[in-house]
Amino acid sequence: MLTGGEADGKVLRSALFVDFDNVFIGLRDSSPRAAEVFSRSPEAWLSWLTRVPEVAAPRLGESAEGHAGESQGAVRRLLLTRNCYLNPVQDTKGFRAFFTRAGFRVVDCPSLTQHGKSSADIHMVMDILDILAHPVRYDEVIVMSADADFTAVMLRLRSHDRRTVSVSSSPVAHAYRAACDLVVSDEEFTRQLLGLQRSAGTVGAAADGGLSLSQLSQSSGLPEGIEEYIVDLVRKSPKAVSHASIASQLMKKFGRGQTVGGQWFGYGAFGDVLGSLTLTLDEQPLVVDFATPGYVLDPTRHSRPVPTPDATEGLEPDLAAFITAVHSTTGMPKLAPAAYRGLFEQIHAEVRDLLAAGQVYVVESVAGAVAQRCYEAGIPVTVSQVKFVLRGYELSGYWRGGPQGSSAAELAGASRDSALARCVQMGIPGTDENLALLDRWLVEE
């Protein structure tokens, strides 16, 4: 007999597949506190995952804001299958116990090669495809992994009329995003985890000496009065305050050592700090807009800022068309040539200072620091755009041994090579003409 929610068609029968190593490593590299919540308190984020908007799900990681005016009732997910795949050899902290307690079937996926790669992906693919022949018809499959190898299986699920959802802890390839009906981006997932860290103090203490969510919140390391300080900045401002402006003021107040140098009080990035706070003015919540470039505003006094002009405005037609095509195909940030030159200079300066200080490289922290440098230099660049460029250095192997770069020109050349590889991968030919256009965009003065 159907319940009221099922009779109304408001229940999704779902299967959840978690590539633990992929998600944990992605979070650990960008936001250690979010990684702690993910690995030690899965029951908390499972509660968040069971709620979805009633409206048609936005595609490619769009937020539900774009559907303003439509009904957004709660649609409940029934997570009938919960599988977690991890490498037992590397599970030195006993994360298995937390997932077992949260009702997961944990599948051991040891490394089968000399290179240390686990067998999680093939185990997951076989189990996901078994869903298609299951006696119970699953409406939806949720894959927690940024591995683009799952693109093919997502397309197969779509052809069988199954809804596909990706939840990732690092940026995902465009082809993978296009194969999914809904993509929860790494930024959104991290914000949700840090929000749970702050608010879900009722979750029981983690076993085996792990921190509970309430303990994590108490040990957050955020300076006293930081919420009041940010609210005061918004109160005194005649317009919406950008994230970069708030970060700049916090750096002046608390020093570079605690902010950028201290990985933003241990959170990994400024956005993680902002997402963990409860900001209210005169008992009314402030709007924290994470859509690039990001603003905090008082809805009773401030309007949303007008979008910045197109980066290709004023460029020669052939270069403008090429930049637009590469951006839409590969995701390469759509920045003007002058903005890229300034960005490479600021990356070089930040890496130089980072290495000189002997600090650990964390992509979220460095991306935030570079974006802050760009803001102070008047260069219109967002944190997510900086992170895309930094990830390109890592994925191409240029930064395989860690951050480097003897000059801004060398960084520009590495970005050009990374962009060329992305273009070829996505079907844009590496002709002499296209290489010359890449040089005009990213390298030439």
> Residue 10 in 3-state DSSP?
coil
Helix, strand, coil percent values for the chain (each to nearest 5): 50, 15, 40
Considering the domain architecture, whether residues 163 and 248 belong to the same structural domain is answered as: no
Considering the domain architecture, whether residues 396 and 278 belong to the same structural domain is answered as: no
Domain limits at 264?
221-297
Q: Which two tokens stand for residue 390?
A: 């930094």
Domain membership of residue 28 (yes or no) is: yes
Q: In sequence order, what are the residues at sequence separation of 6 or more whose Cβ sits closer than 8 angstroms to the Cβ of residue 329?
A: 174, 423, 426, 427, 428
> Mean pLDDT for the chain?
81
Q: Residue 77: enclosing H or E segment and its boundaries?
A: strand 74-86
- Burial-class residue 109 by CB neighbours within 10 Å (0-12, 13-18, 19+): buried
Domain membership of residue 29 (yes or no) is: yes
Considering the domain architecture, whether residues 192 and 226 belong to the same structural domain is answered as: no
Report the C-alpha gap between 155 and 178 in whole angstroms. 9
Residue where a domain terminates, one of 215, 247, 272? 215
Considering the domain architecture, whether residues 211 and 225 belong to the same structural domain is answered as: no
Domain membership of residue 70 (yes or no) is: yes
146-167 pLDDT, tens per residue? 888 899 999 999 999 999 999 9
Considering the domain architecture, whether residues 80 and 195 belong to the same structural domain is answered as: yes
Considering the domain architecture, whether residues 72 and 109 belong to the same structural domain is answered as: yes
Domain membership of residue 304 (yes or no) is: no
Considering the domain architecture, whether residues 119 and 37 belong to the same structural domain is answered as: yes
Report the C-alpha gap between 305 and 321 in whole angstroms. 27
Domain membership of residue 275 (yes or no) is: yes
Strands 140-144 and 11-19: what pairing?
parallel
Find, among 227, 297, 236, the residue nearest to 265 by Cα: 227
Considering the domain architecture, whether residues 164 and 252 belong to the same structural domain is answered as: no
Considering the domain architecture, whether residues 142 and 98 belong to the same structural domain is answered as: yes
Residue where a domain terminates, one of 215, 239, 264? 215
> Residue 386 in 3-state DSSP?
helix
Considering the domain architecture, whether residues 96 and 167 belong to the same structural domain is answered as: yes
Q: Write down the pTM of the prediction.
A: 0.62
pLDDT, tens digit only, all 445 positions of the chain: 334 444 445 788 999 999 999 899 888 777 777 888 899 889 889 988 887 543 334 333 333 333 333 344 456 789 999 999 998 887 657 889 999 999 999 999 887 665 556 688 899 999 999 999 999 999 999 999 988 889 999 999 999 999 999 998 877 777 888 899 988 888 778 777 877 765 444 333 333 444 343 333 334 568 888 999 999 999 999 989 988 889 888 888 888 777 866 667 777 678 778 878 889 999 899 999 876 678 899 999 998 877 777 889 899 999 999 999 999 888 899 999 999 999 999 999 999 998 888 887 877 778 888 988 888 888 888 888 898 899 889 878 898 778 887 899 999 999 999 999 989 988 889 999 999 999 999 998 7
Residue where a domain terminates, one of 297, 330, 346? 297
Domain membership of residue 306 (yes or no) is: no
272-310 pLDDT, tens per residue? 788 788 899 998 999 998 766 788 999 999 988 777 778
Considering the domain architecture, whether residues 240 and 153 belong to the same structural domain is answered as: no
Domain membership of residue 349 (yes or no) is: yes
Domain membership of residue 312 (yes or no) is: no
Considering the domain architecture, whether residues 26 and 172 belong to the same structural domain is answered as: yes
Please report, for the chain, how many H helices and E strands are present, in that order.
19, 12
CATH of residue 171's domain is 3.40.50.1010
The confidence score (pLDDT) of residue 231 equals 95
Q: Which two tokens stand for residue 209?
A: 């000496």
Name the domain count of the chain. 3
Contact present, 162 and 141 (Cβ < 8 Å) = yes
